[in-house]
Amino acid sequence: MDVRHSDFHSKSDFPPLLWFQPESYNHGQHRQRTARSQIPLPQLHKGDFFRNNLRDFLGDGIFNADGDNWKFQRQVSSHDFNTKSLRKFVEHVVDDELSDRLIPILELAVANKTVVDFQDILQRFAFDNICKIAFGYDPEYLSPSLPQEKFAVAFEQAVKLSTDRFSSLSPYFWKIKRALNIGSEKQLKIAINQVREFAKEILRNKKQERTYSIESVDLLSRFLSSGHSDEDFVADIVISFILAGRDTTSAALTWFFWLLSNHPEVESEILREIGEKSEAPAYDEMKDMVYTHASLCESMRLYPPVPVDTKAVVNDDVLPDGTIVKKGMRISYHPYAMGRVEKVWGKDWAEFLPTRWLEREAEGEKWSFVSRDSYTYPVFQAGPRICLGKEMAFLQMKRVVSGVLRKFRVVPEGGEPPVYISDLTAKMKGGFSVRIEKRRVS
Ligand code: HEM
């Protein structure tokens, strides 16, 4: 069903910019700050401009699909995000990557007193994780030698060159270069072929060896065991997932650790919270890490991993503020700007204050998390296309925060404030140079 903004009674029915859907974090102590009634949801279309730019790379994967094709993929992949799968993800994928790779690499940095690029390390961590989730393949990108792994490099190249198309003055420029197979389009074609061939090879091996079942952790095995074996279709889905999960959690964590280094009072409170949990907190314990959850939300309010996102208008419509939009137009919403609006976040919007997401009945009582509706805080988008991996992302991030902070202090090197840049996802310009220090247990 198409729902129009103009179908609703008054402008005041809406939070800024978009419609309402409650946050999905609903475990432990939790309340919603803006209680609004559930209303019908609109379709959210990527549209031709977005789809055409990314089609060579993403094909018709979920990230680049609209209509029935999108709906079908969303339904099938949703299974990967139920509680049982998420538990497995934390216990088998994140914990292994943390204890076998991230912690030893940080131990090494302490021993050798080296300055490391923590952004690079977190990106490698996230890439290994998402590859294991998407197709059960371990690229071992996070290894002490920080290797230039072929698949990861081709993937990076394909993302960069595909997103460069968005800044082309006219689509004709890149289309002509593509037709002539020259310059950046030639490089893009090579990178895409490498990525797709690689994905298909894994798929063929899995099919041949029949090393998959419906119980497998990875998405590819799930698709195969439920009878979907078309190579191109399955490769499209897997590639979309890698893109979605690759740089998002690492971007969030990079800014989070930087903010923490300037807010010792927040770090102490997080340490207190993780000190109450097991060394490798189980799924349920992580759900209860309310203060850490709030700190991550607050960090992404100021530095959202996806700073801007674009959709296409399905039908002529009028937005709540009276803006007329026409079918086919592109509309962008801007989580980076929306997280900094004084009217929404208050005069102290520029401050990093996890407590703005928390309440407690009385001094000394436990905190409870008070979420914002996802249209006020669209860091994971909102509505029917809200991020599928949101809960998985929080689990992964909390596990990393807990694992790293328990043992180490992350100390930025050099006094300059970092610069926030973005293509599809946000980055810290030039990386995040830090020293890792062993945390003394007091
Ligand atoms: C902090 C981490 C993350 C943030 C901030 C984030 C944010 C977003 C945003 C803004 C979108 C909408 C993009 C668009 O429609 O243009 C999205 C979609 C999506 N995300 Fe995430 N994401 C995160 C982590 C993840 C992870 C770890 C996964 C998978 C394992 C994931 C899977 C997806 C998928 C499959 C979609 C497409 C949903 C659809 O179109 O129906 N995300 N995410």
Listed by start position, the domains of the chain span: 13-438
Contact indicator for 136, 220 with CB cutoff of 8 Å:
yes
Decide whether any atom of ligand 1 lies within 6 Å of the 133 Cβ. yes
Decide whether any atom of ligand 1 lies within 6 Å of the 63 Cβ. yes
Decide whether any atom of ligand 1 lies within 6 Å of the 74 Cβ. yes
In our burial notation (b when 16+ CB lie closer than 10 A, e otherwise), range 245-267 reads bbbbbbbbbbbbbbbbeebeebb
Decide whether any atom of ligand 1 lies within 6 Å of the 241 Cβ. yes
Contact indicator for 306, 253 with CB cutoff of 8 Å:
no
| pLDDT for res 30 | 44
Contact indicator for 264, 286 with CB cutoff of 8 Å:
no
| pLDDT for res 28 | 36
CA dist 115 and 432 (Å) reads: 10
CA dist 286 and 91 (Å) reads: 12
CA dist 380 and 425 (Å) reads: 12
- The CA-to-CA distance between both ends of the chain, in Å, stands at 58
| pLDDT for res 227 | 79
Q: Please identify, by atom number, the ligand 1 atom nearest to the C-alpha of residue 385.
A: 41
* Closest C-alpha residue for ligand 1 atom 11: 387
| Complex ipTM more than 0.95, yes or no | yes
Instruction: Of 284, 256, 274, 287, give the one whose Cα is nearest residue 30.
Output: 287
> Rounded to whole angstroms, what are the CA distances from 254 to 79, 126, 304, 311?
29, 12, 11, 27
Decide whether any atom of ligand 1 lies within 6 Å of the 309 Cβ. yes
User: What 3-state class would DSSP assign to 177?
Assistant: helix
Q: Which residues pair with 117 in a beta bridge?
A: 433
Residues with Cβ within 8 Å of 181's Cβ and at least 6 positions away in sequence, in order, are 189
CA dist 267 and 412 (Å) reads: 15
Decide whether any atom of ligand 1 lies within 6 Å of the 244 Cβ. yes
Contact indicator for 373, 21 with CB cutoff of 8 Å:
yes
Q: Please identify, by atom number, the ligand 1 atom nearest to the C-alpha of residue 393.
A: 27
Joined tokens for residue 379: 């860091």
Residues with Cβ within 8 Å of 105's Cβ and at least 6 positions away in sequence, in order, are 116, 121, 142, 144
Q: Which one of 222, 387, 396, 427 would you pick to mutate in the ligand 1 pocket, going by the greatest count of ligand atoms within 8 A of its CB?
A: 387
Q: What is the dihedral of CA 76, 62, 232, 152, to 10 degrees?
A: -110
In our burial notation (b when 16+ CB lie closer than 10 A, e otherwise), range 41-54 reads bbbbbbbeebbebb
Give 360 Cα–ligand 1 centroid separation in angstroms: 31
| pLDDT for res 114 | 95
Q: Please identify, by atom number, the ligand 1 atom nearest to the C-alpha of residue 65.
A: 40
CA dist 380 and 306 (Å) reads: 8
Q: Which one of 60, 248, 295, 396 would you pick to mutate in the ligand 1 pocket, going by the greatest count of ligand atoms within 8 A of its CB?
A: 248
Give 241 Cα–ligand 1 centroid separation in angstroms: 8
CA dist 38 and 81 (Å) reads: 23
* Closest C-alpha residue for ligand 1 atom 43: 387
Q: Which residues pair with 434 in a beta bridge?
A: 116, 412
According to DSSP, residue 45 is labeled: B
CATH topology for the 13-438 domain: Cytochrome p450 (1.10.630)
CA dist 124 and 131 (Å) reads: 11
Residues with Cβ within 8 Å of 9's Cβ and at least 6 positions away in sequence, in order, are none
Give 305 Cα–ligand 1 centroid separation in angstroms: 10
Residues with Cβ within 8 Å of 34's Cβ and at least 6 positions away in sequence, in order, are 15, 20, 372, 373, 376
Contact indicator for 413, 117 with CB cutoff of 8 Å:
no
Residues with Cβ within 8 Å of 110's Cβ and at least 6 positions away in sequence, in order, are 408, 436, 437, 438
> Rounded to whole angstroms, what are the CA distances from 249 to 2, 122, 306, 353?
32, 8, 10, 20
Which residue is associated with the tokens 């094709």?
A: 69
Radius of gyration of the chain (CA): 22
| pLDDT for res 135 | 81
Q: What is the largest CA-CA distance in the chain?
A: 69
Decide whether any atom of ligand 1 lies within 6 Å of the 237 Cβ. no
Joined tokens for residue 267: 């770090």
Q: Per-residue pLDDT tens, the chain, 442 aa: give them.
A: 232 333 322 222 223 333 323 233 333 344 444 433 344 445 578 888 888 899 999 999 998 998 888 888 888 788 777 777 788 788 788 999 999 999 999 999 999 999 999 999 999 999 999 999 888 889 999 998 888 888 999 999 999 999 999 888 888 999 999 999 999 999 999 999 999 998 888 888 888 877 666 667 788 887 787 777 788 888 898 899 899 988 999 999 999 999 999 999 999 999 999 999 988 888 888 889 999 999 999 999 999 999 999 888 888 989 888 999 998 898 899 999 999 999 999 999 999 999 999 998 787 788 999 999 999 999 999 988 999 999 999 999 999 999 999 999 999 998 788 999 987 899 999 999 999 999 976 5
- For residue 157, give the amino acid letter: Q
Give 308 Cα–ligand 1 centroid separation in angstroms: 13
Give 292 Cα–ligand 1 centroid separation in angstroms: 21
